[in-house]
Amino acid sequence: MTIIVGYVNNPAGHAALDKGISEAKKDGLELVVVNASRSSDRSDAYRLGEGEIRSVQDYLSRSGVPGRVLTRGSEYDPAEQILDAAAEVGAELIVLGTRKRTPVGKFLLGSTIQRVILEAVCPVLCVKASR
């Protein structure tokens, strides 16, 4: 079985990756890291370049967890990227990182996270960055 990690290159993404690795080790599962970002000025900063993809793959290798990094076309909605990957691999769990939000942001939770929680056919675990 497989765990999906929705990953962007920020503290919340790093927290999700670390938690995904921890869960995969505990249950002997494979990890699929989905670099899900939308094509926009803000999200382009989160899109992984070739060097960053190798860095995440090296991090997975050092952790001892079998895994891979998927990058989808940034024209797709991030939630759709995560949900599609979960369906493709028959994910047992989806791990997402979240960050501190304003009162309005707390109400909305975040459109990507909210959509994944509502539409996923497997459990979704949201983790906060400690930084």
Domain count, the chain: 1
- Give CA–CA dist 131/121, Å, rounded: 30
pLDDT score for 121: 95
Of residues 92, 93, 96, 18, the one with CA closest to residue 62: 18
What pTM value is reported for the model? 0.85
Residues 6+ positions from 1 with CB-CB distance below 8 Å? 27, 29, 30, 90, 91, 92
Residues 73-131 pLDDT 10s: 666 788 999 999 999 999 999 999 987 665 555 555 567 888 999 999 999 999 998 86
CATH code, 111? 3.40.50.620
Enclosing domain of residue 21: 2-128
* CA nearest neighbour of 82 among 17, 22, 6: 6
Q: Give the integer Cα–Cα distance in Å for 83 and 96.
A: 12
Q: For residue range 106-118, what is the model confidence (pLDDT) as tens digits?
A: 555 567 888 999 9
